[in-house]
Amino acid sequence: MCLGLVLAVAGCASGESGGSGGSGGSGGSARGPESPPAGADAPSAAPAAKAPGPSARLPIARYSLTTEESTLLSKAERRAMAECMSRYGLPYDTVSESPAGSSDRRYGILDKTEAQTRGYHPAKGSDLGLKRPSDEAWQVLTGDVGTYKGHEVPKGGCVAEAGRALRGDAEPPAAAKTAQEISVSAFEESRSAPEVKNVVADWSACMKGKGYTYASPLDPADDFTGRPSATPQEVSTAVADVACKEETKLVDTWLIVEAGIQQTKLTAHGDALAVLEERHKQQVDAARTILARAGE
């Protein structure tokens, strides 16, 4: 998270990822899809949230930060950096925006609206509005100097200090790696399960009937990688892709199989993973404390 924030300060745009391997559970992965805007005919109503994506419905999700928790930690970390910089009389813009949420594409694209508007292209992240500060401010932010105007700069700079305020000095628990390994290995094993092979074959046949030849729902996006924007062909392929997933009930079938594999693995590591769950709780509590202190 700290590195991501440094990159944001440097002016890098944040985008949306759509890897097939799914979320890990190592401590900060966004688990659900974006929420749609409120309807134009009901401006006073709260936005209607989309149903959770498959990654959020898998057993391993309980050991991963939710989208809301990740956003909270990011906001608190920016606030802690701003507080640190203010001790040196240096500005730091905390801003209120955050990058666009990642769409859950564990089993490929699932959202019809996304398919119709962007094809397989991910949503562009919103501009955080952060620009690289002056050289002296950057040095304090990143810890490139040991002192500034006679005052000691924390080890690693204000970025590191903010990270410690949320996570302490302890190394990430070994359970974080375990959770990631379970997520990845269960996904890979599920691809070889007979039920998944059958439903993927059904999806492939459905796509063939619509004029598209693909062996797996993880394949189509590769054909359009690197293009600046979605072409009509990409959009039509993505729309057919989503429709065939719905017709064959691919997501439900695959999810049930992978969840069973995950649960077996989780049972063998329950005690270790409980440490990770507690660590996430501590981080969220620390974030709330930082924001409450700032009146946010």
For tokens 């059958």, name the residue: 198
What pLDDT is attached to residue 64? 87
pLDDT at 22 over 70: no
Q: Which two tokens stand for residue 82?
A: 């701003």
Local structure of residue 62 (DSSP, 8 states)? G
- The pLDDT value recorded for residue 5 is 37
Region of poorest pLDDT, from 36-40, 70-74, 257-261: 36-40
pTM for this model (two decimals): 0.71
Dihedral over Cα of 241, 246, 248, 251: its sign: positive
Residue 194 clears pLDDT 80, i.e. is over it: yes
pLDDT tens track for 91-126: 887 655 444 555 789 999 999 999 999 999 988 755
For residue 51, the model assigns a pLDDT of 72
Q: Which token pair is 264?
A: 């077996």
List phi, psi (to 5°) of 24.
-95, -55
pLDDT of residue 9: 35
**pLDDT at position 68 over 90:** no
pLDDT digits (tens, 9 = 90+) for 139-189: 999 999 999 999 999 999 999 999 999 988 777 778 889 999 999 999 999
Question: Could you identify the residue written with the tokens 């993505």?
Answer: 238
Are 203 and 248 within 8 A, CB to CB? yes
β partners of residue 108: 106
Tell me the three state secondary structure of residue 52: coil
**Encoded amino acid at 5, one letter:** L
Between 4-18, 209-223, 234-248, the lowest mean confidence (pLDDT) is in 4-18
Percent of the chain with pLDDT over 90: 58
What pLDDT is recorded for position 192? Answer: 97
Q: Does residue 43 carry a pLDDT above 50?
A: no
Q: What count of Cα atoms within 13 Å lies in the side-chain half-sphere of residue 167?
A: 19
Task: Return the pLDDT at 125.
Answer: 57
Lowest mean pLDDT among 18-22, 125-129, 161-165, 195-199: 18-22
